[in-house]
């Protein structure tokens, strides 16, 4: 048997994260036996994040079960999303049961490898050796990825596939994900189809479903996910994604059912509970919404990521249920837990106003509402959609008619494709006994956004690229939160430059639109396509930094 080159462990900086002190010590000694000299230890996620911010680690060995707070997977997602660790950092997950490995191995953000307890020192050394070898093979690709050079990284994957085939499947998997990010969906689909022809593996089914969804083939994506959920009921990422696909198809009831099932199976994932609460609320299922938001508020006490939004959500559901005392208690908790957060104060005032209206105290309602409005005016950060909608409701209930209507119009203009928000807006008007009038207002606002878009697309097709770009950049300024319009504006400027040549001003605008879109909707179907176009154009004109 050919022996691959030995790996030198002596220069590696290793972080061990485990809440069990015996396990930490054990691992440190085991690591020192094969030459690791620099091992730091953390007992939980909070301390680990702190250490990782202080210094760069080559290897992180993390127990999945970290006791209170976050689990290993959540920590990994936070580290990768927050770019706290680079692509070359090894993340090795340790689990007590093979269940987690099964469930997580198909996740978009999977760790580099798993070790299932109990494991031997030899096993740990072998796994580390093999991952480090793989990292070495992917070193250049990972560097490009860290620098955001996606097209180069794709070519790098091709080069790995052309080498002796030890990492072919890994390279395919990574390449397919990059192609999705670049909006090159047909190519991504080809890879997934190719893998699935060999064997039905969950990550490839999931990848194919994502590709189909982005190609707006929603029915096919849903069918595929329903099969996957049926075959692998413990594969939670598929259920969350299924709910998202069902929402996009405006199948609210199906989405609610999917999320309720998933939340019952693993109640600790707070984002899932939030999604469940919001879908339930948008359909008027107040009891389910209250249960979901209560769970979030209770479990979130220990998280460093908690925000006042969860309390505000729970309180507003309680107001609608007529549980005014409970709502009052939740609001008091909101104010006391987030004393220096202006957004929390605004949210608390808005929901307080709704509560006072419900209690029949019109005067109090108006007083707190005005306080919220003046706070909001002096505060830069935008409110979340749900809180904006609550603000609109409070205004409409307290006789601030024009303000309320303006808020709804802006919200709908900016989110004309968001089925859940449109449903929630309709429900609000129903609640106020103004369903017909509300429907008119919503439809008109949707129409404004859609017709602006359509008009511009038509001009572009007729070759009137300047006119299209003018219309869309104007619309993008008026509707700064409408991701679709931002991206269409970017695309129109890119088409203009493709015809007329590079323009630094246009390029700057494109950069801004892409940044805004990425902040608000990193998963928007159009984002990858526009980014790919931008990079392609930059290459054509020899611009180093697009």
Partner 1 sequence: MTKQPPPPGVDLGSLMASEFHELKNQLGYLTLALGEVVSRHPDAAPWLLEPRRICQNISDRLVQALTLYKNDQGRLELNVDAQSPAAFLEDICAQSKALAGQKIRVECHSEGCPPFWFFDRYLMEMALLNAIHNALQFAREHIRIGVHLADGGLCFEVRDDSAGYPAHILANQGHDPGRTATGTGLGLFFSHTIARAHESKGQHGHLTLSNDGGALYRLWIP
State which residue, 230 or 380, has the beta carbon closest to partner 1.
Answer: 230
Q: Return the residue of 5, 199, 340, 378 that touches partner 1, per CB under 8 A.
A: 199
Q: Return the residue of 130, 140, 244, 474 that touches partner 1, per CB under 8 A.
A: 130
State which residue, 200 or 458, has the beta carbon closest to partner 1.
Answer: 200
State which residue, 3 or 325, has the beta carbon closest to partner 1.
Answer: 3
As given in the structure block, the two tokens for residue 242 are 């299924």
As given in the structure block, the two tokens for residue 401 are 């008619």
Alpha carbon 438 to chain centroid, angstroms: 30
Look-up of token digits 């490995």: 101
- Least distance between partner 1 and beta carbon 2 (Å): 8
Q: Return the residue of 39, 74, 89, 125 that touches partner 1, per CB under 8 A.
A: 125
How many Cβ atoms sit within 10 Å of the Cβ of residue 405?
A: 17
Q: Count residues contacting partner 1 (CB under 8 A)?
A: 38
Strand residues in 96-197 grouped as ranges (E): 113-116
State which residue, 86 or 126, has the beta carbon closest to partner 1.
Answer: 126
State which residue, 118 or 360, has the beta carbon closest to partner 1.
Answer: 118
Q: Return the residue of 37, 86, 126, 266 that touches partner 1, per CB under 8 A.
A: 126
As given in the structure block, the two tokens for residue 50 are 């702190």
The DSSP secondary-structure symbol of 163 reads S
9 near partner 1 (CB under 8 A): no
Query: In 3-state terms, what secondary structure has residue 38?
Result: strand
Which residues share a beta bridge with 59? 14, 90
State which residue, 230 or 505, has the beta carbon closest to partner 1.
Answer: 230
State which residue, 119 or 502, has the beta carbon closest to partner 1.
Answer: 119
136 near partner 1 (CB under 8 A): no
| Strand pairing report for 59-63 and 113-116 | unpaired
Site string for partner 1, 153-192 (x = CB under 8 A): -----------xxx-xx-----------------------
11 near partner 1 (CB under 8 A): no
As given in the structure block, the two tokens for residue 103 are 């469930």
127 near partner 1 (CB under 8 A): yes
Q: Return the residue of 22, 339, 360, 433 that touches partner 1, per CB under 8 A.
A: 22
State which residue, 26 or 536, has the beta carbon closest to partner 1.
Answer: 26
Angle at 498 between CA 492 and CA 502, to 5 degrees: 100
Span interacting with partner 1, options 72-80, 126-134, 270-278, 502-510, rule CB under 8 A: 126-134
Q: Return the residue of 11, 123, 266, 271 that touches partner 1, per CB under 8 A.
A: 123
Q: Return the residue of 50, 55, 81, 117 that touches partner 1, per CB under 8 A.
A: 117
Report the sign of the C-alpha dihedral through residues 156, 158, 163, 166, in that order.
positive
Question: For the chain, what is the total number of helices (H) and then of strands (E)?
Answer: 27, 5
What spatial distance separates the first Cα and last Cα of the chain, rounded to whole Å?
A: 48
- Least distance between partner 1 and beta carbon 301 (Å): 28
State which residue, 22 or 542, has the beta carbon closest to partner 1.
Answer: 22
Site string for partner 1, 245-264 (x = CB under 8 A): --------------------
As given in the structure block, the two tokens for residue 418 are 């968001």
Task: List binders of partner 1 among 94-113 (CB under 8 A).
Answer: 96-98, 101-102, 105
197 near partner 1 (CB under 8 A): no
Task: List binders of partner 1 among 229-248 (CB under 8 A).
Answer: 232, 234
Which residues share a beta bridge with 38? 13
Q: How far apart are CA 288 and CA 286, in angstroms?
A: 6
State which residue, 113 or 403, has the beta carbon closest to partner 1.
Answer: 113
As given in the structure block, the two tokens for residue 121 are 């020192």
As given in the structure block, the two tokens for residue 314 are 């729970």
Look-up of token digits 């047909």: 186
> Starting from the edge strand earliest in sequence, which strands make up the sheet with 90-95, in order?
38-42, 13-17, 59-63, 90-95, 113-116
Quick one: which H or E segment has residue 330?
Answer: helix 324-337
DSSP for 277-297 reads HHHHHHTT-HHHHHHHHHHHH
Alpha-carbon Rg of the chain, whole angstroms? 26
Q: How far apart are CA 45 and CA 75, in angstroms?
A: 6
298 near partner 1 (CB under 8 A): no
State which residue, 168 or 364, has the beta carbon closest to partner 1.
Answer: 168
For residue 118, is the peptide bond before it cis, meaning its omega torsion is within 30 degrees of 0?
A: yes
State which residue, 6 or 377, has the beta carbon closest to partner 1.
Answer: 6
116 near partner 1 (CB under 8 A): yes
122 near partner 1 (CB under 8 A): yes
203 near partner 1 (CB under 8 A): yes
How many Cβ atoms sit within 10 Å of the Cβ of residue 540?
A: 11
**Distant-in-sequence, close-in-space partners of 458: CB < 8 Å, separation ≥ 6:** none
Q: How far apart are CA 386 and CA 317, in angstroms?
A: 12
Task: List binders of partner 1 among 27-66 (CB under 8 A).
Answer: 29-30, 33
State which residue, 192 or 203, has the beta carbon closest to partner 1.
Answer: 203
- Least distance between partner 1 and beta carbon 406 (Å): 53
- Least distance between partner 1 and beta carbon 227 (Å): 15
- Note the residues at the interface with partner 1 (CB under 8 A): 1, 4, 22-23, 26, 29-30, 33, 96-98, 101-102, 105, 116-123, 125-127, 130, 164-166, 168-169, 195, 198-199, 201, 203, 232, 234
């Amino acid at each position: 048997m050919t022996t691959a080159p030995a790996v030198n462990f002596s220069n590696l900086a290793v972080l061990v994260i485990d809440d069990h002190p015996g396990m930490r010590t054990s691992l440190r000694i085991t690591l020192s036996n094969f030459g690791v000299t620099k091992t730091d230890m953390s007992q939980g996620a909070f301390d680990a994040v702190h250490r990782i911010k202080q210094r760069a680690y080559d290897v992180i060995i993390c127990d999945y079960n970290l006791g209170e707070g976050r689990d290993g997977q959540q920590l990994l997602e936070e580290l990768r999303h927050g770019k706290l660790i680079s692509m070359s950092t090894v993340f090795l997950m340790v689990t007590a049961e093979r269940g987690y490995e099964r469930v997580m191995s198909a996740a978009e953000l999977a760790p580099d490898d798993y070790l299932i307890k109990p494991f031997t020192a030899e096993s740990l050394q072998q796994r580390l050796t093999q991952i480090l070898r793989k990292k070495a093979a992917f070193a250049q690709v990972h560097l490009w990825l860290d620098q955001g050079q996606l097209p180069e990284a794709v070519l790098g994957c091709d080069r790995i596939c052309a080498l002796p085939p030890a990492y072919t499947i890994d390279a395919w998997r990574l390449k397919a994900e990059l192609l999705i990010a670049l909006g090159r969906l047909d190519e991504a689909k080809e890879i997934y189809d190719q893998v699935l022809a060999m064997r039905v593996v969950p990550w490839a089914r999931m990848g194919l479903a994502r590709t189909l969804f982005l190609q707006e083939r929603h029915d096919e994506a849903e069918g595929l996910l329903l099969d996957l959920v049926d075959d692998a009921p413990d594969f939670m990422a598929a259920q969350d994604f299924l709910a998202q696909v069902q929402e996009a198809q405006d199948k609210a009831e199906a989405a609610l059912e999917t999320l309720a099932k998933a939340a019952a199976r693993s109640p600790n994932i707070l984002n899932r509970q939030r999604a469940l609460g919001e879908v339930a609320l948008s359909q008027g299922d107040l009891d389910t919404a209250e249960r979901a938001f209560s769970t979030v508020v209770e479990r979130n006490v220990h998280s460093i990521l908690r925000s006042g939004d969860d309390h505000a959500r729970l309180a507003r559901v309680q107001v609608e249920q007529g549980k005014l005392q409970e709502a009052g208690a939740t609001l008091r908790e909101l104010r006391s837990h987030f004393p220096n957060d202006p957004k929390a104060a605004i949210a608390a005032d808005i929901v307080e106003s709704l509560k006072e209206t419900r209690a029949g105290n019109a005067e109090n309602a108006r007083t707190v509402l005005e306080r919220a409005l003046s706070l909001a005016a002096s505060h830069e950060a935008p409110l979340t959609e749900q809180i904006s909608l609550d603000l609109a409701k409070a205004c409409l209930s307290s006789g601030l008619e024009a303000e309320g209507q303006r808020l709804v119009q802006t919200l709908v203009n900016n989110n004309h494709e968001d089925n859940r928000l449109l449903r929630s807006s309709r429900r609000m008007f129903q609640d106020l006994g103004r369903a017909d009038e509300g429907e008119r207002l919503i439809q008109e606002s949707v129409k404004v956004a859609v017709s602006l878009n359509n008009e511009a697309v038509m001009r572009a097709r007729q070759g009137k690229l300047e006119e299209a770009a003018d219309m869309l950049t104007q619309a993008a300024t008026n509707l700064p939160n409408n991701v679709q319009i931002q991206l269409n504006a970017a695309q129109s400027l890119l088409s203009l430059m493709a015809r007329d040549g590079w323009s630094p001003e246009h390029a700057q605008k494109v950069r801004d639109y892409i940044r805004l879109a990425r902040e608000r909707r990193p998963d928007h179907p159009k984002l990858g396509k526009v980014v790919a176009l931008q990079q392609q154009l930059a290459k054509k004109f020899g611009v180093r930094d697009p």
